[in-house]
């Protein structure tokens, strides 16, 4: 019998695996795509957000109802809002006018409290990154909020659980879109020939796709 999830957070992960049958080289590795767009916000960032929050709950850094703080351009902020709203934790977001207005509006509409750090003519610079980090640090210091600090959080690369039949050598390929640029990287779960890695990393990604790809060799 199908078990209904308790809430939307329970829908994070357990995304479908789909075999890629048309683009896999003949007699080559088996390539399975894990559809991360099935996560509630349509992003693999949901996994990261849930992993960081649950780890902080488990070790006491985040108390029930405690506030959460993060600097983000938007994608992580939306995923954190999803998790924090279910768990009853207010969310403070440090962001900038260098990021798209649509992402800022999205986080605002969802109920996150935004602090906008002004940019230099809308440009993303090293100084702006430092300013975002410092603003998040100050909020944490003043409010006692739990700062997820995604770039330095060991739980932000939470593993994807693979079904039991995948028992051979595996590589995991994660990809998606960051603004106007494709983000793609191969993570070595085991050894695999570099030509296939290069081919995957240079594939012309569909614009709206968010997925992970498992290569079985």
Q: Is 103 a catalytic residue?
A: no
The catalytic position among 45, 63, 113, 168 is: 45
Which pLDDT does position 19 carry in this prediction?
82
Count the helices and strands in the chain (H runs, E runs): 5, 9
Q: How far apart are CA 122 and CA 157, in angstroms?
A: 29
CA atoms within 13 A on the CB side of 194: 0
Which pLDDT does position 77 carry in this prediction?
93
Which pLDDT does position 63 carry in this prediction?
95
| pLDDT tens digits for range 29-60 | 777 777 888 999 998 899 899 999 999 999 99
Which pLDDT does position 147 carry in this prediction?
96
Which ranges of the chain have pLDDT less than 70? Answer: 1-2, 24, 156-217
CA distances from 143 to 68, 69, 92, 186, 214 (A): 10, 9, 10, 39, 42
**Residue 120: other Cβ atoms inside 10 A:** 10
Which pLDDT does position 2 carry in this prediction?
67
Which pLDDT does position 15 carry in this prediction?
83
Nearest Cα to Cα of residue 44 among 91, 89, 76, 87: 76
Helices (H), 101-178: 101-110, 126-143
Pick the CATH number of 45-152 from 3.90.226.10, 3.40.50.1100, 3.20.20.140, 3.40.430.10: 3.40.50.1100
Domain boundaries, the chain: 8-38+162-216, 45-152
């Amino acid at each position: 019998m199908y078990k209904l999830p308790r809430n939307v957070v329970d829908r994070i992960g357990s995304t479908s695996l789909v075999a890629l049958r048309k683009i896999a080289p003949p007699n080559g590795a088996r390539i399975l795509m894990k559809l991360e767009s099935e996560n509630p916000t349509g992003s693999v960032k949901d996994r990261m957000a849930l992993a960081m929050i649950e780890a902080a709950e488990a070790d006491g850094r985040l108390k029930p109802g405690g506030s959460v703080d993060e600097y983000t351009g938007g994608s992580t902020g939306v995923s954190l809002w999803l998790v924090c709203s279910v768990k009853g934790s207010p969310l403070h977001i440090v962001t900038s006018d260098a990021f798209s207005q649509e992402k800022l509006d999205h986080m605002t509409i969802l109920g996150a409290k935004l602090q906008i750090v002004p940019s230099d003519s809308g440009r993303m610079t090293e100084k702006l990154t430092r300013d975002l980090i410092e603003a998040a640090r100050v909020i944490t210091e003043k409010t006692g909020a739990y700062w997820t600090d995604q770039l330095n959080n060991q739980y932000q690369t939470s593993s994807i659980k693979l079904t039991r039949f995948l028992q051979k050598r595996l590589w995991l390929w994660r990809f998606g879109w960051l603004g106007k640029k494709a983000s793609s990287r191969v993570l070595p779960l085991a050894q695999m020939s570099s030509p296939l890695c290069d081919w995957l990393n240079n594939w012309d990604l569909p614009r709206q796709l968010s997925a992970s790809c498992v290569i079985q060799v």
